[in-house]
Every structure is written in C-alpha cells, then in structure tokens.
Amino acid sequence: MDLITKAPRGTQDMLPEVAHKWQHIEQTALAIAADFGYREMRTPVFEHTELFHRSVGETTDVVQKEMYTFTDRGDRSVTLRPEGTAGAARAVLESGLYAGTLPVKVSYVTSCYRYEKPQAGRLREFHQFGVECFGAAAPTADAEAISLAHTLLAQLGVTGVTLYINSIGCPTCRAKYHEALKAYFTDRQDELCGTCRDRLERNPMRILDCKSPICHEIGAAAPVILDFLCDECAEHFEAVKACLNAADIPFEVDPHIVRGLDYYTRTVFEFVSDALGAQAVVCGGGRYDGLIEELGGPHLPSLGFAMGLERLLMIMDAKGCSFPAPPACELYLAPMGAAAARECFAIAAKLRAGGVAVQTDVVGRGLKAQMKYADKIGAKQVIVVGDNELETKQAKLKDMDAGTETDIALDDSMYTTLYQRSLDRQLGAMSDLFRSVAE
C-alpha cells in the first residue's frame, strides 16, 4: 500500500531515538539562559506580514525570497516566522513589558520557516534557541550575550568553534559607509545579480550578504565598515572587546560580518564551527538598537542571538559530544493472568506517581514474549507476578544487567526499595554525564 503523502520537502521528523538529544540541548540552553537572568517566552508561529517587512528589512533575502506568506480567510496577509527576534520584540512592545523593570531578558526555543533549497544544516522548517535583551545600551550587555552563547557551547562539550565579531555602526556612520559602498559597487554593477543591482540604491550593505558566488567575490574587496565608525561606535566596540578579553573569551575580528537582517546595529557576531563546511555558522546575533522604535515603540537599545539547533546537533554528533542516555524503563512488571495484570497495573500506577519509570504488559503477551520485550526496551529490573506471587505476597526482583535475583515483598515495603533503587540509578547517570562533559 502506497503512503498517502510524505513529509514536505525541507522538513524532518523528530523520532523517539533522537528526541532525548533535542531535549538535552533545549533544557541545557534554557537553564543556562536562566542563570544569566533570561526567562522563557513563547510567541505565535505566524505574525502579520508587515512585522517582518518592518523589522527584517525589505531588501533582505529573507523578505524578498524566503518567507512563507499567505492570505488568511479574513483577507489578511500573515507569514510563518522566519526568525524569532521580530515576534519577541512585538510581544514586549504589545504587552508593555518595556515600561517595567529594564532590561527585559527573554529566551525561547522556537520553530522557524524559510523557503530555501534544502541541504545539510539548512531546512525549510528549522529550530532555534534564542535570547533577546531589551533596554540595555552598555557594551557589557553585548559581551554578556556572547558569554551566554560561549557558556552554552562549552557546557554541551562543543569544540572547534571560533567566535568572530564586528561592528556595523549606527545609522549616522553607516550613511557614510553606504556612500562608499555605492561608489565601489557602481563600478561593477553590470556583474552583480539582479537582486543586488536593485539593492545598490536601496541598501548596498545587503550586497555583502548575497549568496551569489559572483557577488560574494566582488564584495570581498569592498570597503569595510570599521573604517567608517563614528567615535561613539568605535568606543563601544573597543569596550565589547575589552569585556571579552577580561572574561578570557577568545575572538577574532571579522570586518566582513554584516548579518542577514536589517535591524542590526553596532556589534554583530558569529560562532563558526569547523565541522560543517559551508553551513558552519551555528550561532549569530548582535545589537538592534532601533528595532523597537521601528515597530512603533520608544527608543529601546536591545540585542540578542539565535542558535540553530539542527546544526548544533549535527556538530555535536560529529564531535562525539556526550548526551544523557534516553529515558530508561526502571522496572518491567510481567503479569501472568488477569488478576496479576490488575495488580501489576495498580503497582505501576503507584510507582509512577513516585517518579519511577515503569511498564507492564498492555498487549496480552505470554511470559516468554514479555521477557523478550523487557530486554528490547532496556528494562533495568523485572518482577514476574503470577497466582503464586499474589498468594504469598512474595516475588523475585531480577536485575537484568547483572542477571541476579533478589526476593521482594509485594507490600508497602516494596515501594521504598524500588524508589531508592531508581534514585541511586538516576544519581549515577548524572554523575557519569558530568564526568564525561568535564573530560
């Protein structure tokens, strides 16, 4: 029988055998963000299209080529979010959070959607971990966001990653830079792609972010923004570098980083891995001091970053990083007969309420088949319950790893024993994970 349909191109399923890796990354990311004072936020998967036109930028590849935009039944144009910052900024503005205690620090794990050619590390539906800090103008805020990303990668055991930073200035110094870029690219405009010829007048800096090999080659020799920074932007960038040096966070200055979205100002940065070839950027971000104002709010200096989770997982697998073991079945209860099945069901319910991972037969298998199943799911212990065990209130607790058996009473004392065994096993697993990360 043929499948009715398959997953849309550029999407992928998260199957149970890898879900625990995603959970580890997401939980670690949100926990580290919380240590830095960032609280989780969740925003809608779609927004009014004009939000992305105003924030991301009319001349960006994202808006011009990649957004999933459609008209809903109310004749409104809506777009699946192509990135997380715009929605977070809209939520902070709409809810009035900016009027409270500043800075407002939020984190999120979210899905994003861009119509791109699918390839390794680049999907049409992808996922990001991101943080946004609203209401912080000091260069220490830039360094803190970079430090958060650096800490997360280190905590996950990711090696071979280089931090590159740049400053793209403010609107004042960028105006002079745009004039210099126009003069440079005008001399070679016939060689530019059609999109970049249009950008030449509207936003020449976007040419530096073009994916066309020809435009990329031409842009490599273009003037660099660091030569055009105003005194205030130059001082800000020097202060960011000083903070990173003080925290022993290594970095390299790359004057060609501009990032792909129009809302960025001043500090921009990327963490680049040596494990993914062309899709090497695993984290990118920077400052966007004018975004809230552009969306109709007050002037609110802000910054943030996003980390691609698919790419991060690929890097971790390539580097052999450690992950916690998938959730294991602590105990399998193997009933023989209807009365035993009811008793096992009741025992399992009570143990689960106490935090023990328990399974029991729900298929109606015989004992031999149940034991094979318990072995396949990696059950740590098995208790067989039949008529004799129900009558004597005694059973055998089999340790599947050691192959040993011990007597266990089918009464209230059983729960204390099994709770303690489960706790000891969890503590042991945590200790092993911490040791592997430290190594």
What does the DSSP assignment read for 148-204?
A: HHHHHHHHTT--SEEEEEEE---HHHHHHHHHHHHHHHHTTGGGS-HHHHHHHHH-G
Residue 380: band (very low, low, confident or very high) from pLDDT cuts 50, 70, 90: very high
**CA atoms of 428 and 422, how far apart (whole Å):** 10
pLDDT at 334: 97
pLDDT exceeds 90 at position 308 = yes
Instruction: Determine which helix (DSSP H) or strand (DSSP E) holds 408, and give its type and residue range.
Output: strand 404-409
Residue 134: band (very low, low, confident or very high) from pLDDT cuts 50, 70, 90: very high
pLDDT, mean of residues 247-269: 88
Residue 427: band (very low, low, confident or very high) from pLDDT cuts 50, 70, 90: low
Q: How many CB atoms lie within 10 A of CB 71?
A: 10
Average pLDDT value over all residues in the chain = 91
Where along the chain do the CATH 3.30.930.10 domains lie?
Answer: 16-170+230-319
pLDDT at 438: 53
| Joined tokens for residue 101 | 């205690």
Residues facing 77 on adjacent strands: 71
User: Among 36-45, 242-251, 258-267, where is mean pLDDT lowest?
Assistant: 258-267
pLDDT at 128: 96
**Omega before 103 within 30 of 0, i.e. cis:** yes
Closest CA to 362 of 354, 372, 370: 370
CATH class as words, domain 331-438: alpha beta
CATH class as words, domain 16-170+230-319: alpha beta
Q: What strands, in cross-sheet order, belong to the sheet with 39-40? A: 39-40, 104-113, 125-134, 302-308, 281-287, 265-273, 161-167, 252-253
**CA atoms of 251 and 272, how far apart (whole Å):** 11
DSSP single-letter state for residue 326:
P
Distances (CA, A) of 202 to 18, 97, 125, 217: 45, 33, 30, 21
Most confident of the following: 121-125, 223-227, 261-265, 278-282: 223-227
Q: Classify burial at 53, counting beta carbons within 10 Å of its beta carbon; exposed 0-12, middle 13-18, buried 19 or more.
A: middle
pTM: 0.87
Most confident of the following: 11-15, 39-43, 114-118: 39-43
Closest CA to 257 of 175, 190, 162, 185: 162
Residue 205: band (very low, low, confident or very high) from pLDDT cuts 50, 70, 90: confident
Q: Classify burial at 287, counting beta carbons within 10 Å of its beta carbon; exposed 0-12, middle 13-18, buried 19 or more.
A: buried
pLDDT at 188: 86
Residue 120: band (very low, low, confident or very high) from pLDDT cuts 50, 70, 90: confident
pLDDT at 144: 98
Where along the chain do the CATH 3.40.50.800 domains lie?
Answer: 331-438
pLDDT at 285: 95
**CA atoms of 94 and 104, how far apart (whole Å):** 14
pLDDT at 241: 98
